[in-house]
């Protein structure tokens, strides 16, 4: 959603730069579109992601630090936006758009995915696993090795495994439901005969 917010802010800058009645209406629309992207993507992230990604030992401290950083960031934006709009106008939106697009790149490359993983499974991502770590080291480029972001690759592997297990569980559940339904039909020959008539 960070990328979406960046695109919306570029559209906002264009409509503010045009500066007529129609563009003012479009600018209001883009403000609401930005809020929609923010709500769907980032609003809860600062509260949820630190609690998911941090080990139990430091989870509460990390969540508190994330909340403090959120409030500090909000304060900074509220303080600098009015003078920025007064002095550089629509270029303020371009600056914020660049920040959002850069953030999208950083999150995609460096933030481990946690979907389908329990909190305990996320903790395991950070523990050493010699075989998995050697495989990841072979696949990483110089940039990834230098920054030591192997945990992102570990998380991708763990999420893919969890997704496969989840899909297999769903397939097994669906198959067992089909078997139950068929056995119920066999127990009621009249119902089965009526279905054949309808077909």
User: Tokens for 91?
Assistant: 């270029």
Q: Is the pLDDT higher at 111 or at 14? A: 14
Backbone φ/ψ region at 89: left (φ over 0), alpha (ψ -120 to 50), beta:
left
Tens of pLDDT, residues 148-196: 555 666 777 777 787 888 788 888 877 777 677 666 666 655 544 444 4
Give the CA count within 13 Å in the CB-facing half-sphere of 32.
Answer: 5
Q: Is the pLDDT higher at 107 or at 153? A: 107
Tens of pLDDT, residues 26-70: 999 999 999 999 988 888 888 888 888 887 778 888 889 988 999
**Start-to-end Cα distance in the chain:** 47
Per-residue burial over 65-83, b = 16 or more CB atoms within 10 Å of its CB, e = otherwise: ebeeebeeeeeeeeeeeee
Question: What long-range pairs does 85-89 form, CB within 8 A, spacing at least 24?
Answer: 89/16, 89/17
Read out DSSP for 80-98?
HHHHHHHHHTTHHHHHHHH
Give the CA count within 13 Å in the CB-facing half-sphere of 142.
Answer: 0
Query: For the chain, which residues make up each domain, given as ranges?
Result: 2-111, 133-198
Give the CA count within 13 Å in the CB-facing half-sphere of 79.
Answer: 6
Cβ(100)–Cβ(38) below 8 Å: no
Mean pLDDT over each residue of the chain, to the nearest integer: 80
**DSSP 8-class letter at 56:** G
Beta-carbon contacts of 135 under 8 Å, excluding residues fewer than 6 positions away, are none
pLDDT in the model for residue 128: 64
3 state SS of 193: helix
């Amino acid at each position: 959603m960070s990328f979406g917010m960046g695109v919306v802010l570029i559209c906002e800058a264009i409509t503010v730069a045009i500066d007529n009645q129609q563009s003012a209406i479009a600018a209001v629309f883009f403000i609401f579109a930005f809020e929609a992207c923010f709500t769907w993507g980032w609003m809860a992230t600062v509260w949820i992601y630190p609690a998911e990604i941090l080990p139990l030992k430091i989870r509460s401290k990390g969540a508190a630090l994330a909340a403090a950083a959120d409030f500090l960031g909000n304060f900074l934006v509220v303080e600098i936006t009015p003078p920025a709009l007064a002095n550089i106008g629509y270029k303020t939106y371009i600056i914020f758009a660049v920040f959002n697009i850069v953030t999208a790149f950083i999150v995609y490359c460096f933030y481990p995915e946690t979907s389908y993983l329990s909190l305990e499974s996320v903790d395991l991502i950070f523990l050493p696993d010699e075989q998995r770590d050697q495989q990841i080291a072979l696949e990483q480029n110089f940039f990834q090795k230098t920054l030591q972001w192997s945990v992102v690759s570990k998380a991708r592997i763990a999420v893919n495994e969890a997704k496969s297990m989840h899909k297999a569980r769903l397939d097994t559940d669906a198959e067992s439901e089909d078997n139950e339904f068929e056995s119920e039909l066999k127990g009621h020959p009249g119902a089965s005969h009526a279905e054949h008539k309808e077909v």
